[in-house]
């Protein structure tokens, strides 16, 4: 498979932009991209032909979400985006940690990736791709630019060291509810070893809340300690009150639809299609699923159908 020169140039531009927000050395940054330091220097100086394989170009492009075409889907500055950006900045500036647990499909992951790409020494991990402790640590080592080869213990200690020497690092673990129990215990150890030097942020849905709450209630080792280190609370963005919840979703759908629809007169119609009978998801009542509100994924689908 061959890729175009245009795509290579776009990936190179994204690499150089990403370097500005990475506080480690060029060698560490190159490792985070899966390439050698000398190769990175060549690309930095403008060489793009025959310096790395097609697979490596694709891996780096995927990391920065680079494409040869301009995405038709536009990002809206929603209340979710604003609240998450405020929380991320607060955590990084004050070296504190939080857990965001909220409805699926409100744009948590989409917003997190955009916000983190603009922050210095901020790193994003997808726990759904690294559920075990070994895969979690190796993914963490990769994004930090640590050597991922060698004994597991050495990689783990290098991760702790790398975090502690960075200036105000911020690490976001998305889909945190997918982590296995041993991964939580290992994460607790890393947080202990980097306390006061690193801000952490977990993102998940009700499954994460349930896993942590159940672990605490059953006195399972580690869960109470982890919850304590994440400020002893779950941050939520969607209101629990049914009417306030309805208002939240109407505005969320409206904001996203407005920037993505050419015909602005269709916004209200699209929003109505996304809204169903509103009920609190915190009730355990028969037929609760009938009251579930559609997600931004549904909105995106019907907007694309109209184009």
Query: pLDDT value at position 160?
Result: 96
Query: pLDDT value at position 120?
Result: 95
Query: pLDDT value at position 285?
Result: 46
- Distance (Å, rounded) from C-alpha 144 to C-alpha 32? 6
Phi-psi region of 49 (alpha: psi -120 to 50; beta: other; left: phi over 0): beta
Tokens of 28: 């560490």
Query: pLDDT value at position 306?
Result: 78
Q: Tell me the β-bridge partners of 210.
A: none
Query: pLDDT value at position 68?
Result: 65
Query: pLDDT value at position 226?
Result: 92
User: Under a CB-based contact definition with an 8 Å cutoff, are residues 276 and 291 in contact?
Assistant: yes
Q: Residues for the chain: how many in total?
A: 307
Query: pLDDT value at position 55?
Result: 86
Burial 119-138 (b: 16+ CB within 10 A, else e): bebbbbbbbeebbebeebbb
What CATH number does the domain located at 79-229 have?
3.40.50.300
Domain positions in the chain are 5-63, 79-229, 242-306
Tokens of 215: 């672990």
Three-class SS state of 100: strand
Query: pLDDT value at position 289?
Result: 46
pLDDT beneath 50, residues of the chain:
278, 284-290
């Amino acid at each position: 498979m061959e890729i175009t020169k245009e795509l290579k140039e776009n990936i190179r531009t994204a690499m150089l932009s990403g370097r500005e927000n990475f506080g480690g050395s060029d060698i560490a940054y190159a490792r985070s991209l899966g390439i050698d330091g000398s190769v990175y220097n060549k690309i930095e100086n403008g060489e793009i032909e025959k310096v790395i394989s097609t697979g490596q170009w694709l891996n780096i492009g995927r990391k920065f979400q680079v494409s040869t075409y301009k995405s038709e889907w536009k990002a809206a500055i929603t209340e979710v985006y604003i609240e998450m950006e405020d929380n991320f900045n607060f955590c990084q500036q004050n070296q504190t940690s939080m857990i965001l647990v909220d409805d699926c499909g409100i744009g948590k992951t989409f917003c997190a990736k955009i916000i983190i790409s603009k922050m210095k020494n901020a790193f994003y991990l997808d726990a759904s791709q690294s559920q075990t402790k070994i895969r979690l640590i190796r993914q963490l080592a990769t994004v930090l630019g640590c050597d991922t080869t060698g004994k597991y213990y050495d990689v783990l200690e290098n991760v702790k060291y790398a975090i502690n020497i960075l200036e105000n690092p911020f690490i976001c673990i998305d889909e945190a509810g997918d982590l296995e129990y041993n991964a939580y215990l290992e994460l607790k150890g890393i947080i202990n070893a980097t306390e006061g030097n690193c801000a952490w942020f977990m993102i998940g849905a009700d499954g994460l809340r349930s896993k942590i709450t159940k672990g605490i209630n059953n006195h399972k080792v580690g869960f109470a300690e982890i919850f304590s280190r994440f400020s002893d609370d779950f941050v939520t963005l969607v209101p629990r009150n049914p009417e306030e919840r309805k208002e939240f979703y109407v505005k969320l759908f409206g904001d996203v639809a407005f920037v993505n629809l050419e015909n602005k007169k269709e916004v209200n119609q699209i929003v109505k299609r996304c809204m169903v009978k509103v009920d609190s998801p915190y009730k355990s009542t028969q037929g609760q699923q009938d009251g579930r509100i559609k997600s931004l994924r549904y909105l995106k689908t019907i907007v694309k159908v109209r184009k």
